[in-house]
């Protein structure tokens, strides 16, 4: 029988290349095609701008501790706005606090408002407290802080109250194990007085 018609099994004796290399040729051809487009290159460069700005801010804050005094001034502006809007007696018996990235001290750029108002136990706030807190929200929006889409602001009655009311709310948030309550607790735990 001739060799060409021999159907017996023989092991492959040649060298085997690792499997899975074919995709690299296809991917490299696609990458080269995308890099040839100037619009794609411009988009890639623009996408890096926020990262570079944030990197410079973080570098400045970590290398020069005094940079913390002029970069994150948001909490000071919140407090000053509250002092200008609220009557002195309310300011003396309340504590405006910020939460989220501002409360954790991570915010270097304006995002949205995450704030609340803590009142001294036994203090009877003025009847116009709702209007004053709404005015605070409008003032901060005018300063460039958009309203929080989740309503985590002093203008929302859930985020203002006395010390005992907030203690009771925190217990409810902790003991009620649904997602919204735990999220409210996590947000509140980031609170920082301004």
Residues in the chain: 194
Which are the contacts of 5, defined by CB distance < 8 A and separation ≥ 6? none
H helices of 64-113, in order, are 74-85, 88-92, 100-104
Verify that 152 and 176 share a domain, yes or no: yes
45 within a domain of the structure (yes/no): yes
Q: Structure pTM?
A: 0.61
In sequence order, the β-bridge partners of residue 161 are 118
Which are the contacts of 9, defined by CB distance < 8 A and separation ≥ 6? none
Which are the contacts of 72, defined by CB distance < 8 A and separation ≥ 6? 102, 105, 107, 108
Verify that 88 and 131 share a domain, yes or no: yes
At 56 the pLDDT is: 81
Cα–Cα dist 151/169, whole Å: 16
The answer to whether the beta carbons of residues 92 and 45 sit under 8 Å apart is no
139 within a domain of the structure (yes/no): yes
Verify that 121 and 81 share a domain, yes or no: yes
Domain carrying residue 142? 74-193
Q: Domain count for the chain, please give it.
A: 2
155 alpha carbon, distance to own chain's centre? 20
Verify that 47 and 140 share a domain, yes or no: no
Select from 84, 99, 192 the least CA-distant residue to 132.
84
| Token pair belonging to 135 | 């005015």
Q: Which residues of the chain have pLDDT under 50?
A: 71
pLDDT tens digits, 63-117: 766 655 554 557 778 888 889 899 999 999 999 988 877 776 666 556 778 889 9
């Amino acid at each position: 029988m001739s060799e060409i018609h021999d159907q017996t099994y023989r092991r492959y004796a040649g060298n085997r290349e690792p499997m899975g290399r074919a995709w690299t040729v296809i991917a490299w051809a696609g990458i080269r095609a995308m890099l040839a487009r100037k619009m794609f290159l411009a988009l890639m460069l623009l996408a890096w701008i926020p990262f570079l700005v944030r990197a410079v801010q973080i570098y400045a804050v970590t290398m020069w501790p005094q940079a913390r005094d002029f970069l994150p001034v948001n909490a000071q502006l919140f407090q000053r706005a509250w002092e200008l809007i609220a009557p002195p007696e309310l300011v003396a018996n309340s504590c405006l606090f910020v939460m989220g990235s501002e409360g954790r001290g991570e915010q270097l750029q304006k995002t949205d408002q995450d704030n609340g108002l803590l009142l001294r136990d036994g203090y009877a706030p003025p009847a116009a407290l709702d209007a004053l807190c709404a005015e605070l929200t409008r003032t901060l929006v005018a300063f460039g802080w958009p309203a929080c889409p989740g309503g985590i602001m002093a203008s929302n009655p859930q985020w203002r109250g006395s010390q005992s009311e907030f203690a009771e709310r925190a217990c409810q948030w902790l003991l009620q194990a649904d997602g919204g309550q735990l999220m409210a607790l996590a947000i509140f735990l980031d609170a920082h007085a301004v």
